[in-house]
Structure 1
C-alpha cells in the first residue's frame, strides 16, 4: 500500500487523468466486444449523477474511480482503474474503500458494479469479492452473459 496516497474529487481536466481513462477504455475494448463495454468516457463521468475521484502518489496519478447515483439507496462503482505502474500495490483497494465510504456518507444501503467475466478481469473480481461483493442479477440496463458480471454489496 502506498503510504501517502491522496484521493481527491477530480474534474477530469488533467492530462494524466484523461490518459488513464483512455487506457481504461482501450483495454475494455481489447478485452470485450464493443457492445459489452460499459466504461464511461470522460464527458459522461463529468455529469451531475457521477462523482469522480483521482488517487495521487505525490504528483503521479496512481488511479481513479467513480460512484454513480442510481437512487437514494443505491450507488454504482464506475471507472475503477489503477495506473499500470501501480497495479498490485493497493491502489485499487484504497479507491474502493474510499468509494464505499462516500456511499455510506450518502446513505446508500447498497453499492453495485458491472465487471467483465473473462480472465482479464480476474484481479478486479478478486478485489471486489475480498471486500464483500457477490455476484447478483443484472441491474439497470445490464444483462448477464459470457462477458458481463454484476456484483453488489449491502452496506
Structure 2
C-alpha cells in the first residue's frame, strides 16, 4: 500500500468522497453529519492522504490541525472493493505517526453512534482511542461518538 498526499482533484478521490458523504448521510440525521465536503477538506489546516496499491484507489483520510498540540481525524473511508484488507488500519497508523512527528499530544475524532458506525468505533479502539466528550466546535449529540488518543500511547503492530 502506498499512502500519498492528495490534492483532491482526481476523479477517483472525488467519487470516493461522494460515497463517503452519502454513507454518512444514510446513517445520520442531517444535523449530525460532520463530514467535510471537498472545499472543507481543501482548507490549509487539513492534510489529506489517499491509499493506492497499483493505480487503484483503496481509501483516504485526513488530519486537521485544531491547535499546535491537538489534531482531528477526518474523512476516513475505505473503498468498498478494499474493505477488510487493512487499508483503514494502515492509514490510522500513518496519521498517528504524522501527528507524533508534528508534536501533537492527542488526536481526536467524531464518528456516528449508530450501529452502522460500530466497525469504525472498534477499529479506533484497537488503536487506543477512548470515548471522550465533545472537543473543538462540537456539541453534545446523541448521534455522535467522540474519541481521543494520547499520542505517546502504544499503537498495535
TM-score by length of 2: 0.94
Pairing 1:129–2:125 present: yes
Matched, 1:17 2:16: no
5+ residue gaps, structure 2: 152-157
Q: Return the alpha-carbon distance in structure 2 between the equivalents of residues 97 and 150 of structure 1.
A: 19
Q: Distance in 1 between matches of 2:52 and 2:29?
A: 31
Most deviating of 11-20 and 143-152: 143-152
CA–CA distance in structure 2, aligned partners of residues 144 and 83 of structure 1: 30
Q: Distance in 1 between matches of 2:81 and 2:19?
A: 13
Spell out, residue by residue over 1:69-123, the C-alpha distance to the aligned partner (whole angstroms, 9 max, x if none).
Answer: 0001000000000000111110000010000011011100000000000000011
Q: Tell me the equivalent position of 2:64.
A: 68
The structural deviation recorded for 1:144 is 3.0
Matched, 1:44 2:37: no
How big is the shift at 1:57? 1.5
Instruction: For 2:27 and 2:48, locate their aligned partners in 1 and report how far apart those are by CA, in whole Å.
Output: 24
Q: CA deviation at 1:27?
A: 0.7
Q: CA RMSD in A?
A: 0.7
**Residue 115 of structure 1, aligned match among 111, 114, 117:** 111
Kindly report structure 1 stretches of 4+ aligned residues shifted beyond 3 Å: none
Structure 1 stretches of 5 or more lacking a match?
Answer: none
CA shift for structure 1 position 32 = 0.2
8 Å CA contact retained: 2:6, 2:50: yes
For 1:26 and 1:88, locate their aligned partners in 2 and report how far apart those are by CA, in whole Å: 20
2:84 aligns to what SS in structure 1?
coil
